[in-house]
A and B are shown apart, each in its own frame.
Chain A
Protein backbone atom coordinates (compact mmCIF):
# COMPACT_ATOMS: atom_id res chain seq x y z
CA UNK A 1 0.00 0.00 0.00
CA UNK A 2 1.38 3.43 -0.91
CA UNK A 3 1.56 6.35 1.42
CA UNK A 4 0.19 9.53 -0.09
CA UNK A 5 0.30 13.09 1.20
CA UNK A 6 -2.59 15.30 0.14
CA UNK A 7 -2.74 19.05 0.87
CA UNK A 8 -6.28 20.01 1.99
CA UNK A 9 -6.88 23.75 1.75
CA UNK A 10 -6.13 26.61 2.35
CA UNK A 11 -8.52 27.10 -0.57
CA UNK A 12 -11.11 24.35 -0.66
CA UNK A 13 -14.79 24.44 -1.73
CA UNK A 14 -16.09 23.48 1.72
CA UNK A 15 -13.82 25.77 3.72
CA UNK A 16 -15.31 29.16 4.48
CA UNK A 17 -11.90 30.36 5.62
CA UNK A 18 -8.31 29.35 4.88
CA UNK A 19 -6.82 26.54 6.95
CA UNK A 20 -4.27 24.17 5.51
CA UNK A 21 -4.22 20.48 6.45
CA UNK A 22 -1.45 18.16 5.35
CA UNK A 23 -3.16 14.76 5.22
CA UNK A 24 -1.10 11.57 5.16
CA UNK A 25 -3.13 8.73 3.66
CA UNK A 26 -2.77 5.01 3.64
CA UNK A 27 -4.91 4.13 0.64
CA UNK A 28 -8.13 6.04 1.43
CA UNK A 29 -7.66 6.18 5.18
CA UNK A 30 -6.01 9.11 6.94
CA UNK A 31 -3.11 8.23 9.20
CA UNK A 32 -1.92 11.70 10.13
CA UNK A 33 -3.15 15.30 9.84
CA UNK A 34 -0.97 18.36 10.34
CA UNK A 35 -2.71 21.76 10.34
CA UNK A 36 -1.06 25.03 9.30
CA UNK A 37 -2.26 28.56 9.96
CA UNK A 38 -1.21 32.08 9.15
CA UNK A 39 -3.10 33.01 5.99
CA UNK A 40 -5.31 35.71 7.49
CA UNK A 41 -3.25 37.15 10.33
CA UNK A 42 -3.89 40.90 10.63
CA UNK A 43 -2.16 41.82 13.88
CA UNK A 44 -5.27 43.33 15.46
CA UNK A 45 -4.00 42.82 19.04
CA UNK A 46 -1.04 45.06 18.23
CA UNK A 47 -3.45 47.90 17.37
CA UNK A 48 -3.92 48.63 21.08
CA UNK A 49 -0.74 50.69 20.77
CA UNK A 50 -2.28 53.21 18.38
CA UNK A 51 -6.04 53.06 19.08
CA UNK A 52 -7.40 54.18 22.43
CA UNK A 53 -9.43 51.82 24.62
CA UNK A 54 -12.77 53.18 23.37
CA UNK A 55 -11.79 52.82 19.71
CA UNK A 56 -10.59 49.25 20.35
CA UNK A 57 -14.24 48.13 20.72
CA UNK A 58 -14.68 48.63 16.97
CA UNK A 59 -11.38 46.85 16.28
CA UNK A 60 -12.12 43.73 18.36
CA UNK A 61 -15.54 43.57 16.74
CA UNK A 62 -13.80 43.05 13.44
CA UNK A 63 -11.72 40.10 14.68
CA UNK A 64 -14.53 37.85 13.49
CA UNK A 65 -17.33 38.53 11.05
CA UNK A 66 -19.76 36.15 12.70
CA UNK A 67 -19.36 36.54 16.45
CA UNK A 68 -18.50 40.26 16.30
CA UNK A 69 -20.97 41.36 18.95
CA UNK A 70 -19.67 38.81 21.44
CA UNK A 71 -16.07 39.92 20.95
CA UNK A 72 -17.04 43.51 21.73
CA UNK A 73 -19.16 42.36 24.67
CA UNK A 74 -16.30 40.33 26.15
CA UNK A 75 -13.91 43.25 25.74
CA UNK A 76 -16.34 45.78 27.26
CA UNK A 77 -17.11 43.48 30.21
CA UNK A 78 -13.37 43.17 30.86
CA UNK A 79 -12.75 46.93 30.82
CA UNK A 80 -15.88 47.53 32.95
CA UNK A 81 -14.61 45.05 35.52
CA UNK A 82 -11.21 46.74 35.54
CA UNK A 83 -12.66 50.23 35.99
CA UNK A 84 -15.33 49.10 38.44
CA UNK A 85 -18.24 50.22 36.27
CA UNK A 86 -21.69 48.85 37.06
CA UNK A 87 -23.68 48.53 33.82
CA UNK A 88 -27.40 49.35 34.04
CA UNK A 89 -29.71 46.27 34.16
CA UNK A 90 -31.43 47.22 30.90
CA UNK A 91 -28.08 47.26 29.09
CA UNK A 92 -27.25 43.80 30.43
CA UNK A 93 -30.54 42.38 29.15
CA UNK A 94 -30.12 44.10 25.78
CA UNK A 95 -26.66 42.55 25.50
CA UNK A 96 -28.19 39.11 26.06
CA UNK A 97 -30.80 39.71 23.35
CA UNK A 98 -28.28 40.79 20.72
CA UNK A 99 -25.73 38.14 21.69
CA UNK A 100 -28.32 35.37 21.38
CA UNK A 101 -29.44 36.77 18.01
CA UNK A 102 -25.80 36.51 17.00
CA UNK A 103 -25.62 32.91 18.19
CA UNK A 104 -28.72 32.11 16.16
CA UNK A 105 -27.44 33.55 12.91
CA UNK A 106 -24.03 31.95 13.44
CA UNK A 107 -25.54 28.51 14.04
CA UNK A 108 -27.88 28.89 11.07
CA UNK A 109 -24.89 29.82 8.92
CA UNK A 110 -23.05 26.76 10.20
CA UNK A 111 -26.02 24.42 9.68
CA UNK A 112 -26.14 25.59 6.08
CA UNK A 113 -22.41 25.17 5.54
CA UNK A 114 -22.50 21.77 7.22
CA UNK A 115 -25.29 20.62 4.88
CA UNK A 116 -23.20 21.93 2.01
CA UNK A 117 -20.15 19.97 3.24
CA UNK A 118 -21.92 16.68 2.53
CA UNK A 119 -23.46 17.97 -0.67
CA UNK A 120 -27.01 18.79 0.50
CA UNK A 121 -27.16 22.16 -1.23
CA UNK A 122 -30.91 22.72 -1.11
CA UNK A 123 -30.87 22.36 2.67
CA UNK A 124 -28.01 24.86 2.81
CA UNK A 125 -30.17 27.40 0.99
CA UNK A 126 -33.15 26.76 3.29
CA UNK A 127 -31.07 27.51 6.41
CA UNK A 128 -29.60 30.64 4.90
CA UNK A 129 -33.09 31.81 3.92
CA UNK A 130 -34.12 31.59 7.59
CA UNK A 131 -30.90 33.32 8.64
CA UNK A 132 -31.87 36.39 6.60
CA UNK A 133 -34.75 37.03 9.01
CA UNK A 134 -32.32 37.25 11.93
CA UNK A 135 -30.04 39.56 9.96
CA UNK A 136 -33.04 41.78 9.18
CA UNK A 137 -33.82 42.00 12.92
CA UNK A 138 -30.20 43.01 13.52
CA UNK A 139 -30.31 45.69 10.85
CA UNK A 140 -33.66 47.08 11.96
CA UNK A 141 -32.60 47.33 15.62
CA UNK A 142 -28.90 48.19 15.44
CA UNK A 143 -28.34 49.57 11.95
CA UNK A 144 -26.14 46.81 10.59
CA UNK A 145 -26.58 43.18 9.67
CA UNK A 146 -23.53 41.61 11.27
CA UNK A 147 -21.12 44.16 12.75
CA UNK A 148 -23.81 45.55 15.01
CA UNK A 149 -21.57 47.94 17.03
CA UNK A 150 -23.95 48.20 19.96
CA UNK A 151 -21.50 47.75 22.83
CA UNK A 152 -19.78 50.63 24.52
CA UNK A 153 -17.92 50.63 27.79
CA UNK A 154 -20.61 51.16 30.40
CA UNK A 155 -23.59 49.79 28.46
CA UNK A 156 -25.03 49.75 24.96
CA UNK A 157 -25.51 52.39 22.25
CA UNK A 158 -28.97 51.45 21.03
CA UNK A 159 -32.24 50.84 22.79
CA UNK A 160 -35.18 48.67 21.82
CA UNK A 161 -38.61 50.24 21.61
CA UNK A 162 -41.72 48.30 22.62
CA UNK A 163 -42.66 48.03 18.95
CA UNK A 164 -39.26 46.57 18.10
CA UNK A 165 -39.44 43.93 20.84
CA UNK A 166 -42.87 42.91 19.54
CA UNK A 167 -41.41 42.74 16.06
CA UNK A 168 -38.55 40.52 17.27
CA UNK A 169 -40.96 38.15 19.02
CA UNK A 170 -43.20 37.77 15.97
CA UNK A 171 -40.20 37.21 13.68
CA UNK A 172 -38.83 34.60 16.09
CA UNK A 173 -42.16 32.82 15.96
CA UNK A 174 -41.93 32.44 12.18
CA UNK A 175 -38.25 31.45 12.43
CA UNK A 176 -39.21 28.74 14.91
CA UNK A 177 -41.98 27.40 12.65
CA UNK A 178 -39.69 27.28 9.63
CA UNK A 179 -36.91 25.59 11.60
CA UNK A 180 -39.26 22.93 12.95
CA UNK A 181 -40.18 22.14 9.35
CA UNK A 182 -36.51 21.43 8.60
CA UNK A 183 -35.97 19.40 11.77
CA UNK A 184 -36.86 16.06 10.19
CA UNK A 185 -34.54 16.77 7.26
CA UNK A 186 -31.43 17.74 9.22
CA UNK A 187 -31.87 15.18 12.00
CA UNK A 188 -33.72 12.20 10.47
CA UNK A 189 -32.83 12.19 6.80
CA UNK A 190 -31.08 9.04 5.56
CA UNK A 191 -28.42 11.01 3.62
CA UNK A 192 -27.56 13.24 6.57
CA UNK A 193 -27.32 10.35 9.00
CA UNK A 194 -25.28 8.29 6.56
CA UNK A 195 -22.65 11.04 6.30
CA UNK A 196 -22.53 12.14 9.95
CA UNK A 197 -23.39 9.34 12.39
CA UNK A 198 -20.29 7.72 13.85
CA UNK A 199 -17.88 10.09 12.03
CA UNK A 200 -15.16 11.85 14.00
CA UNK A 201 -16.07 10.40 17.39
CA UNK A 202 -14.64 12.04 20.51
CA UNK A 203 -15.27 10.57 23.95
CA UNK A 204 -16.04 12.86 26.90
CA UNK A 205 -12.60 12.12 28.40
CA UNK A 206 -10.79 12.91 25.14
CA UNK A 207 -12.78 16.10 24.61
CA UNK A 208 -12.12 17.31 28.14
CA UNK A 209 -8.42 16.47 28.06
CA UNK A 210 -7.94 18.20 24.70
CA UNK A 211 -9.37 21.34 26.29
CA UNK A 212 -12.18 21.73 23.78
CA UNK A 213 -14.88 24.35 24.17
CA UNK A 214 -18.41 25.09 23.06
CA UNK A 215 -20.71 22.77 21.09
CA UNK A 216 -17.74 20.52 20.17
CA UNK A 217 -17.24 19.78 23.87
CA UNK A 218 -20.93 19.63 24.78
CA UNK A 219 -21.62 17.11 21.97
CA UNK A 220 -19.26 14.71 23.78
CA UNK A 221 -21.31 14.89 26.96
CA UNK A 222 -19.41 17.50 28.99
CA UNK A 223 -21.71 20.15 30.40
CA UNK A 224 -19.59 23.27 30.14
CA UNK A 225 -20.76 26.64 28.92
CA UNK A 226 -19.40 30.10 29.75
CA UNK A 227 -22.99 31.34 30.15
CA UNK A 228 -23.03 29.29 33.36
CA UNK A 229 -20.69 32.01 34.75
CA UNK A 230 -23.80 34.22 34.74
CA UNK A 231 -22.30 37.22 32.99
CA UNK A 232 -24.54 40.00 31.62
CA UNK A 233 -28.14 39.15 32.58
CA UNK A 234 -27.72 35.37 32.68
CA UNK A 235 -28.15 35.35 36.46
CA UNK A 236 -31.80 36.39 35.94
CA UNK A 237 -32.49 34.02 33.07
CA UNK A 238 -33.12 30.28 33.39
CA UNK A 239 -30.45 28.48 31.40
CA UNK A 240 -29.26 24.88 31.07
CA UNK A 241 -26.61 24.00 28.48
CA UNK A 242 -27.56 21.72 25.59
CA UNK A 243 -25.65 18.45 25.90
CA UNK A 244 -25.43 15.37 23.67
CA UNK A 245 -23.43 12.26 24.50
CA UNK A 246 -22.47 10.55 21.23
CA UNK A 247 -19.51 12.82 20.39
CA UNK A 248 -19.77 12.36 16.60
CA UNK A 249 -20.51 14.85 13.81
CA UNK A 250 -24.24 14.10 14.11
CA UNK A 251 -24.20 14.96 17.83
CA UNK A 252 -22.40 18.23 17.14
CA UNK A 253 -25.02 19.07 14.52
CA UNK A 254 -27.79 18.19 16.98
CA UNK A 255 -26.30 20.40 19.72
CA UNK A 256 -26.13 23.40 17.42
CA UNK A 257 -29.62 22.80 16.04
CA UNK A 258 -31.05 22.57 19.54
CA UNK A 259 -29.10 25.64 20.62
CA UNK A 260 -30.92 27.74 18.02
CA UNK A 261 -34.20 26.88 19.78
CA UNK A 262 -32.56 27.55 23.13
CA UNK A 263 -31.49 31.01 21.92
CA UNK A 264 -35.07 31.75 20.85
CA UNK A 265 -36.17 30.82 24.36
CA UNK A 266 -33.44 32.97 25.98
CA UNK A 267 -34.41 35.99 23.85
CA UNK A 268 -38.06 35.52 24.83
CA UNK A 269 -37.11 35.36 28.50
CA UNK A 270 -34.87 38.45 28.20
CA UNK A 271 -37.58 40.45 26.41
CA UNK A 272 -40.13 39.33 29.00
CA UNK A 273 -37.95 40.51 31.87
CA UNK A 274 -36.48 43.59 30.14
CA UNK A 275 -36.32 46.28 32.84
CA UNK A 276 -36.80 49.99 32.17
CA UNK A 277 -34.12 52.55 32.75
CA UNK A 278 -30.78 53.78 31.48
CA UNK A 279 -28.91 51.91 28.77
CA UNK A 280 -25.41 53.23 29.53
CA UNK A 281 -23.47 54.97 32.26
CA UNK A 282 -20.92 57.69 31.66
CA UNK A 283 -17.32 56.50 31.80
CA UNK A 284 -14.74 58.65 33.49
CA UNK A 285 -11.05 57.95 33.94
CA UNK A 286 -8.78 55.42 32.33
CA UNK A 287 -8.30 51.70 32.95
CA UNK A 288 -5.47 50.48 35.10
CA UNK A 289 -4.54 46.95 36.11
CA UNK A 290 -5.14 43.59 34.48
CA UNK A 291 -8.22 41.51 33.95
CA UNK A 292 -9.48 38.38 32.21
CA UNK A 293 -12.91 38.13 30.70
CA UNK A 294 -14.85 35.17 29.31
CA UNK A 295 -17.96 34.97 27.17
CA UNK A 296 -19.66 32.07 25.38
CA UNK A 297 -19.48 32.60 21.63
CA UNK A 298 -21.38 30.44 19.12
CA UNK A 299 -18.20 28.36 18.68
CA UNK A 300 -17.36 28.19 22.37
CA UNK A 301 -15.69 30.16 25.08
CA UNK A 302 -13.66 33.24 24.12
CA UNK A 303 -11.03 34.47 26.55
CA UNK A 304 -9.69 38.03 26.78
CA UNK A 305 -6.66 39.11 28.75
CA UNK A 306 -6.38 42.89 29.10
CA UNK A 307 -3.57 44.80 30.80
CA UNK A 308 -3.72 48.58 31.16
CA UNK A 309 -1.41 51.18 32.67
CA UNK A 310 -3.65 54.18 33.33
CA UNK A 311 -3.11 55.77 29.91
CA UNK A 312 -5.63 55.87 27.09
CA UNK A 313 -3.81 53.05 25.31
CA UNK A 314 -3.89 49.52 26.70
CA UNK A 315 -0.60 47.80 27.35
CA UNK A 316 -1.55 44.33 26.16
CA UNK A 317 -4.58 42.61 24.70
CA UNK A 318 -4.60 38.87 24.22
CA UNK A 319 -7.52 36.99 22.69
CA UNK A 320 -7.92 33.23 22.80
CA UNK A 321 -10.70 32.26 20.48
CA UNK A 322 -12.75 29.03 20.56
CA UNK A 323 -11.41 27.66 17.26
CA UNK A 324 -7.85 27.86 18.60
CA UNK A 325 -8.97 25.49 21.37
CA UNK A 326 -10.94 23.25 19.00
CA UNK A 327 -8.33 22.64 16.29
CA UNK A 328 -6.48 19.97 18.37
CA UNK A 329 -9.69 17.92 18.14
CA UNK A 330 -9.08 17.57 14.40
CA UNK A 331 -5.75 15.85 15.02
CA UNK A 332 -7.57 13.22 17.10
CA UNK A 333 -10.66 12.88 14.89
CA UNK A 334 -9.08 12.76 11.43
CA UNK A 335 -6.68 9.76 11.78
CA UNK A 336 -8.71 6.67 10.93
CA UNK A 337 -11.34 8.57 8.95
CA UNK A 338 -11.83 8.22 5.21
CA UNK A 339 -10.78 11.00 2.82
CA UNK A 340 -14.41 11.69 1.86
CA UNK A 341 -15.27 12.40 5.51
CA UNK A 342 -12.61 15.11 5.93
CA UNK A 343 -14.87 18.05 4.90
CA UNK A 344 -17.63 16.92 7.28
CA UNK A 345 -15.25 16.41 10.21
CA UNK A 346 -13.39 19.69 9.64
CA UNK A 347 -16.65 21.62 9.38
CA UNK A 348 -18.06 19.91 12.49
CA UNK A 349 -15.82 21.99 14.81
CA UNK A 350 -17.15 25.16 13.09
CA UNK A 351 -13.70 26.53 12.27
CA UNK A 352 -13.36 30.32 12.35
CA UNK A 353 -9.85 31.04 11.15
CA UNK A 354 -10.05 34.85 11.17
CA UNK A 355 -10.82 34.58 14.88
CA UNK A 356 -7.94 32.22 15.50
CA UNK A 357 -5.31 34.27 13.71
CA UNK A 358 -6.67 37.72 14.59
Chain B
Protein backbone atom coordinates (compact mmCIF):
# COMPACT_ATOMS: atom_id res chain seq x y z
CA UNK B 1 0.00 0.00 0.00
CA UNK B 2 1.01 3.62 -0.64
CA UNK B 3 3.91 2.54 -2.84
CA UNK B 4 3.55 5.65 -5.02
CA UNK B 5 3.46 8.16 -2.14
CA UNK B 6 7.21 8.88 -2.03
CA UNK B 7 7.26 9.51 -5.80
CA UNK B 8 4.27 11.84 -5.53
CA UNK B 9 5.84 13.81 -2.67
CA UNK B 10 9.13 14.09 -4.55
CA UNK B 11 7.31 15.37 -7.63
CA UNK B 12 5.46 17.97 -5.57
CA UNK B 13 8.71 19.36 -4.21
CA UNK B 14 10.65 19.27 -7.49
CA UNK B 15 10.40 21.56 -10.49
CA UNK B 16 8.06 20.42 -13.30
CA UNK B 17 9.56 17.83 -15.69
CA UNK B 18 8.06 19.59 -18.70
CA UNK B 19 8.91 22.90 -20.34
CA UNK B 20 6.44 25.69 -21.04
CA UNK B 21 6.91 25.46 -24.79
CA UNK B 22 7.00 27.74 -26.81
CA UNK B 23 7.92 30.22 -24.04
CA UNK B 24 10.92 28.09 -23.10
CA UNK B 25 12.65 26.19 -25.90
CA UNK B 26 15.42 23.66 -25.39
CA UNK B 27 18.36 24.37 -27.71
CA UNK B 28 18.94 21.64 -30.31
CA UNK B 29 21.66 19.08 -29.79
CA UNK B 30 24.80 19.60 -31.83
CA UNK B 31 24.21 16.41 -33.81
CA UNK B 32 20.48 16.99 -34.36
CA UNK B 33 19.30 16.31 -37.89
CA UNK B 34 17.09 19.23 -38.87
CA UNK B 35 16.24 21.11 -42.02
CA UNK B 36 18.17 20.71 -45.27
CA UNK B 37 19.72 23.90 -46.64
CA UNK B 38 21.44 24.35 -49.95
CA UNK B 39 23.88 27.15 -50.73
CA UNK B 40 22.85 27.54 -54.35
CA UNK B 41 25.90 29.66 -55.28
CA UNK B 42 28.21 26.77 -54.42
CA UNK B 43 25.98 23.97 -55.82
CA UNK B 44 27.29 22.36 -59.01
CA UNK B 45 23.96 20.67 -59.83
CA UNK B 46 25.68 17.31 -60.07
CA UNK B 47 22.46 15.53 -58.97
CA UNK B 48 24.06 13.00 -56.60
CA UNK B 49 21.72 14.10 -53.79
CA UNK B 50 18.66 13.44 -55.98
CA UNK B 51 19.92 9.95 -56.86
CA UNK B 52 20.79 8.95 -53.28
CA UNK B 53 17.76 10.41 -51.50
CA UNK B 54 15.70 7.48 -50.12
CA UNK B 55 12.43 9.41 -50.26
CA UNK B 56 13.27 10.87 -53.69
CA UNK B 57 12.22 14.36 -52.67
CA UNK B 58 15.05 16.22 -54.44
CA UNK B 59 14.92 17.24 -58.11
CA UNK B 60 17.92 18.69 -59.90
CA UNK B 61 17.80 20.23 -63.36
CA UNK B 62 21.33 20.79 -64.50
CA UNK B 63 20.50 22.72 -67.66
CA UNK B 64 18.10 25.15 -66.02
CA UNK B 65 20.33 25.34 -62.88
CA UNK B 66 17.35 24.43 -60.73
CA UNK B 67 17.52 22.66 -57.39
CA UNK B 68 14.25 21.88 -55.67
CA UNK B 69 13.09 19.70 -52.82
CA UNK B 70 9.84 18.80 -51.15
CA UNK B 71 10.23 19.45 -47.39
CA UNK B 72 7.09 17.50 -46.53
CA UNK B 73 8.42 14.37 -48.25
CA UNK B 74 11.93 14.73 -46.75
CA UNK B 75 12.67 12.22 -43.97
CA UNK B 76 15.71 14.17 -42.69
CA UNK B 77 18.02 11.18 -42.89
CA UNK B 78 20.91 13.42 -43.89
CA UNK B 79 22.16 11.22 -46.73
CA UNK B 80 22.09 14.09 -49.29
CA UNK B 81 24.29 16.32 -47.13
CA UNK B 82 26.67 13.39 -46.58
CA UNK B 83 27.12 12.63 -50.30
CA UNK B 84 27.16 16.25 -51.55
CA UNK B 85 30.27 16.65 -53.70
CA UNK B 86 30.52 20.44 -53.53
CA UNK B 87 29.65 20.82 -49.85
CA UNK B 88 26.75 23.15 -50.67
CA UNK B 89 24.12 20.97 -48.98
CA UNK B 90 24.07 21.25 -45.22
CA UNK B 91 21.79 19.83 -42.60
CA UNK B 92 20.86 22.44 -40.01
CA UNK B 93 20.35 21.65 -36.34
CA UNK B 94 16.91 23.21 -36.19
CA UNK B 95 13.70 21.67 -37.38
CA UNK B 96 11.60 23.31 -40.04
CA UNK B 97 8.88 25.58 -38.75
CA UNK B 98 5.26 24.47 -39.28
CA UNK B 99 3.65 25.76 -42.46
CA UNK B 100 0.09 26.29 -43.63
CA UNK B 101 0.63 25.08 -47.19
CA UNK B 102 2.72 22.28 -48.66
CA UNK B 103 5.16 23.90 -51.03
CA UNK B 104 8.30 22.91 -52.88
CA UNK B 105 11.51 24.74 -52.04
CA UNK B 106 12.87 25.85 -55.41
CA UNK B 107 16.34 27.37 -55.62
CA UNK B 108 17.69 28.80 -58.83
CA UNK B 109 21.35 29.18 -59.64
CA UNK B 110 22.50 32.38 -61.38
CA UNK B 111 23.99 30.69 -64.45
CA UNK B 112 24.72 27.19 -65.55
CA UNK B 113 28.02 26.33 -63.90
CA UNK B 114 30.90 25.44 -66.18
CA UNK B 115 31.73 21.77 -66.49
CA UNK B 116 34.86 20.86 -64.59
CA UNK B 117 36.14 18.82 -67.51
CA UNK B 118 36.02 21.79 -69.91
CA UNK B 119 39.49 22.94 -71.01
CA UNK B 120 40.30 26.47 -69.84
CA UNK B 121 39.65 29.10 -72.48
CA UNK B 122 42.87 30.75 -73.56
CA UNK B 123 43.13 33.95 -75.60
Contacts and interface: CB of A to CB of B under 8 A. Distances in A.
Contacts of A62: 75
Contact of A185 (B3, B29, B32, B79): B3
B31 interface: yes
A188 B2 CA distance: 10
Nearest to A129: B17
B72 to A, nearest CB: 15
Name B's interface SS.
Answer: loop
Contacts of A51: 54
Interface in B1-39: 1, 3-4, 6-8, 17, 29-33
B77 A58 contact: yes
A35 B79 CA distance: 40
A58 B31 contact: no
A229 interface: no
A103 B7 CA distance: 25
B4 A189 contact: yes
A126 B3 CA distance: 13
Given A149-B77, A190-B1, A139 B32 contact: yes
B23 to A, nearest CB: 19
A58 B31 CA distance: 18
A143 interface: yes
Given A129-B17, A143-B32, A185 B7 contact: yes
A144 B76 contact: yes
A185 B2 CA distance: 9
Contacts of B3: 184-185, 188-189
Interface string B46-85: 0000001111000000000000000000011111001000
B81 to A, nearest CB: 11
B29 A122 contact: no
A147 B7 CA distance: 31
A182 interface: yes
A140 B4 contact: no
A158 B31 contact: yes
A196 interface: no
Given A58-B54, A58-B77, A182 B31 contact: no
Nearest to A122: B4
Nearest to A57: B54
Contacts of A55: 52-54
Contacts, number: 54
Contacts of A190: 1
A123 B5 CA distance: 11
B1 A122 contact: no
B6 to A, nearest CB: 7
A165 to B, nearest CB: 14
Contacts of A147: 75
A142 B7 contact: no
A54 B82 CA distance: 14
Nearest to A47: B54
A119 to B, nearest CB: 13
A181 interface: yes
Interface string A147-186: 1010000000110000000000000000000000110110
A139 B17 CA distance: 18
A189 B77 CA distance: 43
Contact of B7 (A56, A132, A149, A182): A182
A141 interface: yes
A143 B4 contact: no
Contacts of B32: 139, 143-144
Contact of B31 (A56, A142, A188): A142
A279 to B, nearest CB: 13
Contacts of A142: 31
Interface of B: 1, 3-4, 6-8, 17, 29-33, 52-55, 75-79, 82
Given A132-B17, A182-B7, 5 more contacts: A51-B54, A58-B79, A139-B31, A185-B3, A189-B4
23 contacts: A54-B52, A58-B55, A59-B54, A62-B75, A122-B4, A129-B17, A136-B29, A139-B29, A139-B31, A140-B29, A141-B31, A143-B31, A143-B32, A143-B33, A143-B78, A147-B75, A149-B33, A158-B31, A181-B7, A185-B3, A185-B7, A189-B3, A189-B4
